[in-house]
Amino acid sequence: MKAFKLGDLLDVILDRIAPRLGISKEDIKVNVTGLVLGEKLHEDLINKTESNRMYELDDMYIILRNNEDVLKYQNIKKVDLTEYTSKDVELISKDEIEEIVMSYLKNYPSRGCF
């Protein structure tokens, strides 16, 4: 799983997407509030309870119902992590963010100008 910074998403929208839609970045109001009470910087992808049943299979992690299920898989390896959060994953680039946003806009023409 990949993650991104909200600031990078904002940059992409202001600098790359808005001009394509004929919107000046000066016309977009940005209100930076910071974290609100209870908000987290990173999402928990796998918690401590799940980590003892976490294995790597090919290019992904899997969480088994119980450790006995490991016998159903070939080439499975136990992962030695106590938790796995979005801070532990690769951040996508602004180019990748732009591709995702543009793909979304193209698939939902009523929400964009494409």
Q: Confidence band (pLDDT; 50, 70, 90) for 109?
A: low
| Tokens 């806009």, residue located | 105
* DSSP sequence for 20-52: HTT--GGGS------PPTT--SS-EEE-HHHHT
DSSP string, 51-107: HTTEEEETTEEEE-SSGGGGGG-SSEEE---S-EEGGGSPBPPHHHHHHHHHHHHHH
pLDDT tens per residue, range 35-79: 889 888 888 888 888 888 889 988 888 888 877 788 888 889 988
Mean pLDDT for the stretch of residues 76-85: 86
Q: What does the block give as tokens for 90?
A: 């690769």
pLDDT band at 18 (very low <50, low <70, confident <90, very high): very high
The two tokens of residue 112 are 């964009």
Predicted pLDDT at 34: 85
SS3 at position 112: coil
What does the mean pLDDT of the chain come to? 87
Flag whether pLDDT at 96 surpasses 90.
yes
Prediction pTM value: 0.67
Give the HSE-up count for residue 59: Cα atoms under 13 Å, Cβ half-sphere. Answer: 1
